[in-house]
Amino acid sequence: MKPDYQKIISRVYADISAQPNLGKVPDYIPEIACIEENKFGVNFTDLDLNSFGCGDFQEKFSIQSISKVFALSFVYEKLGEEIWKRVDVEPSGNPFNSLLQLEADCGIPRNPFINAGALVICDILLEVCENPKEKLLEFIRELAEDDQIFYNNAVAQSEMDNSFRNTAMCNYMKSFGNIHSKPSEVIDLYCHLCSIEMTCEQLSKSLLFLVNEGEQPFDGERVLSSSKVKRINAILLTCGFYDESGEFSFLVGLPGKSGVGGGIVALYPKHYCITVWSPKLNEKGNSYRGMKFLEEFTTQTGESIF
């Protein structure tokens, strides 16, 4: 018998809302720093396309590193297993923007969800697409069945104006031959991907192909093979939360991905996708309320991949 998801989500949302909202909105991206810190939204969508939400679930926010899931999926379908010659699949155990690790690994990023790995994915996007910004946005809109998804140019510019560390990583990988395009073009694409704005509702629907072994549940269209989906979900489980990935697996028990915009997506394969948004981040750079909500949600449903 399935749990009463709507009842559980409503109860957990109310409980978390009543608790102190700890953490801090990141201030290194000025356009994000001004977000109202007590925003809080949750949306659940299952493979029968039952969907419901709480709070600010229909308000758009900057998905930031959650966009790395879309970029990886798009590139993996195009490039196949060749992709793993340029980016590894190991947890980092270090901050998402570590230069030291990149030096130790001779310019090969530890996984595609840290910044260096996402920069390599953007470099591949530039190689396989004539208009990568348009193509990836089109890809996401098709996944969400919604053409009202856009880049926030102000956020993208704000990130480009403050992307000194990412630029350093990009140039460093270029010195090892692992960046083929101009670093300025890679940074521009990366910052635009991070600036994509979506709602919790749009996100929970758009990632159902990773729940459904690579097929869209609403039209049966295949996005990725089941084998590729298995590999992406494995990386989400082990690498989706920077150096807090082990903690998320331990507490929540689902593959997922966070972003410094305060969003978190979590996937229960063959069942559902759930998205949480709350802008205040913990010390590891993940949404404080998002982590708390998902831990309590899987505790009350008794469901995880383990």
What's the rounded Cα separation, in Å, for the pair 205 and 227?
21
Give the model's pLDDT for residue 2.
Answer: 87
Give the model's pLDDT for residue 27.
Answer: 87
Q: Which parts of the chain sit beneath pLDDT 50?
A: none
Residue pair 282/294 in contact by the 8 Å Cβ criterion: no
Give the model's pLDDT for residue 29.
Answer: 84
pTM over 0.75: yes
Give the model's pLDDT for residue 97.
Answer: 75
Give the model's pLDDT for residue 104.
Answer: 86
Give the model's pLDDT for residue 103.
Answer: 86
Q: Could you read off the pLDDT of 57-111 as tens digits, one per residue?
A: 999 999 999 999 999 999 999 999 999 999 999 998 777 777 888 888 999 999 9
Question: What are the sequence ranges of the domains in the chain?
Answer: 5-301
Write down the CATH number for the domain with range 5-301: 3.40.710.10
By CB atoms closer than 10 A (0-12, 13-18, 19+), residue 23 is buried
Give the model's pLDDT for residue 199.
Answer: 98
What's the rounded Cα separation, in Å, for the pair 48 and 232?
22
Give the model's pLDDT for residue 192.
Answer: 98
